[in-house]
Structure 1
């Protein structure tokens, strides 16, 4: 980044103070915006890098080394041992979080192929050359790469979580036929929590060419890079909006239950939300302008901190509440384990 050149008449002390104020202001703005985005949109892989596709051959013979994690197998290329071990450590926790979010205990048999470059994923699965990850939900098979098509290091954690959601969603709905926007939106929404890039992309569409309707979204996933990026951002935001439509995400889980029972896609929305999909879509779109009001202000350099201050506080409270709930759950589990051990000891003592 090119630094501004200080005016010649400023003293060295004044110049340093000015730079310090600029850096501090930039950092405060970044923190505020990150908190704002945590409420507005939730993250996923870089641009249109992750795909839910229909692999052709899955010829990934180079991934010859294996790690077994329960019923899951991680196959990886020799030399990628450290990355494979890191994924193996996180995999059970990620799968458990996805199961909890979807409200179902799912089959955890998986095969994950870890290769060095995205080109190998594309060649092996018949997907476009720009993909870094692919899932084949019916087979429970996933392929991800250490490096993106441009050679940069991929975000393996987010990439794998994204593809795991594709498999989990297929299993949670009993293999129901789902629109592309719903599959990708769910994978993006559950994969991570914060994505400034996705928020900026969607905001640009809101104040620019407009957000494509659901029917157009289906085709734009296969469009150029800009179209695909907007499609991912819009689908992700809409699914996140559907998830948090009620306080405990019960309606979203009810939607999945209806799909699992064989109900039609649109009828399942009517059953779960008490409103047709078209009405929900309209309500979501009606709120976009207000939620992204910061975008033109940011572009003009006049974003007031009063806009983001309350949001930062709300995000902090929400995170604290969630942390307290997690601790309470752990305490309850520990208490149950202690009670079970005590009962075993009591039984053993009686037998003795």
Structure 2
């Protein structure tokens, strides 16, 4: 079939827009998982060890540079995560750093496509430098994601919470904009529809990659909606406190937000079409590409500002942990236990 000039130009506009956003925001995305399938993680490759505070890092000796990065920034990552959830949580963690996602699978019993796993009950985390396809993982985002699983478990005092909350919190606290998640959710909004909250539990375990991706995108967006309802996140932290006291998700929502969970879901879903109208316009060719450039530029500058603020927080945390000299922690290589 021959494409007309209008179709070609529409395709070019969408392709250029997607590539621009991908260059600004995206990194190869490795799959995450909440918990492993074995009682204890046994990571034979991680034979070197280093510590900072209550954080223990075990790593493959060949990954010394990556280990140094994680150990220098892990306290700051944890500080940001716990501040968003409660403010002061037990920061005892054991992080295992391996080279490839296959080693994560061997150590945790999870599928070989998983590049990061957390066991919230024990505070153990395993992350891989390379994803299942061999691409470099975003170690910072991967570690923050798995830290969020542990932090949420501690924030609710170990009470069971739905997976949409676990994955939504972890996704929303990765500390970066995800165009892939936004595009996935937008496609569902203007396509087959966004699954109901109750259906997300099944969707997370689906064999259909698209269904799984939509579930993660919806969970991330709904949790971000809850966190932003009062502008400060205080209501969301109150929600977690109510869960830690043993209240059900529905009861905790009423106590913290003053609305039932179905009402909160309805308000979120009602706003989705307006929020993602750019997707329909771009995909349908109803908006000239030039008109999108200010939005792209604004998003780029906002991303730069967020990165500057994040680095400032990390530097402040380094000074708090290591002193004004911001000395890096010592590293000790030792035989694996």
Shorter-chain TM-score bucket reads: 0.7 to 0.9
Aligned residue number for residue 57 of structure 2:
74
Distance 1:138 1:290 in 2: 40
Name the SS of the counterpart of 2:117 in structure 1.
strand
Aligned residue number for residue 266 of structure 1:
250
TM superposition shift of 1:26: 4.8
Aligned residue number for residue 101 of structure 1:
84
Aligned-CA RMSD value: 3.3
TM-score by length of 2: 0.80
The answer to whether the Cα contact below 8 Å between 1:45 and 1:159 also exists between their aligned partners in 2 is: no
Aligned residue number for residue 179 of structure 2:
196
TM superposition shift of 1:136: 0.2
Distance 1:98 1:209 in 2: 33
Highest relative contact order (Cα 8 Å, sep 6+), 1 or 2? 2
Note the alpha carbon deviations across 1:107-165, whole angstroms, 9 max, x for none: 11100011111111112211122111100001000011111111111111111110000
2:194 pairs, out of 211, 226, 245, with: 211
Aligned residue number for residue 243 of structure 1:
227
Extract unaligned runs of 5+ from structure 1: 1-21, 38-42, 335-352
The answer to whether the Cα contact below 8 Å between 2:146 and 2:170 also exists between their aligned partners in 1 is: yes
Aligned residue number for residue 175 of structure 1:
158
Bigger CA radius of gyration? 1
Measured at CA, do residues 292 and 28 of structure 1 come closer, stay the same or move farther in structure 2, by a change above 3 Å?
Answer: closer
Measured at CA, do residues 101 and 92 of structure 1 come closer, stay the same or move farther in structure 2, by a change above 3 Å?
Answer: same
Note the alpha carbon deviations across 1:52-83, whole angstroms, 9 max, x for none: 02430412122110010111111001201000
Distance 1:294 1:282 in 2: 21
Query: Counterparts in 2 of 1:266-345, with a 5 A limit?
Result: 266-304=250-288, 306=291, 309=294
Measured at CA, do residues 169 and 308 of structure 1 come closer, stay the same or move farther in structure 2, by a change above 3 Å?
Answer: farther
Measured at CA, do residues 253 and 163 of structure 1 come closer, stay the same or move farther in structure 2, by a change above 3 Å?
Answer: same
Measured at CA, do residues 321 and 157 of structure 1 come closer, stay the same or move farther in structure 2, by a change above 3 Å?
Answer: closer
Aligned residue number for residue 230 of structure 1:
214
Name the SS of the counterpart of 1:237 in structure 2.
helix
TM superposition shift of 1:90: 0.8
Note the alpha carbon deviations across 1:162-181, whole angstroms, 9 max, x for none: 00000011111111211011
TM superposition shift of 1:300: 3.2
Structure 2 residue 132 is matched with structure 1 residue 155: no
The answer to whether the Cα contact below 8 Å between 2:28 and 2:135 also exists between their aligned partners in 1 is: no
Extract unaligned runs of 5+ from structure 2: 1-11, 320-337
Note the alpha carbon deviations across 1:177-235, whole angstroms, 9 max, x for none: 11011100000001122011111111111111111111111011111211111110010
Distance 1:309 1:214 in 2: 34
The answer to whether the Cα contact below 8 Å between 1:44 and 1:195 also exists between their aligned partners in 2 is: no
Aligned residue number for residue 323 of structure 2:
none
TM-score by length of 1: 0.76
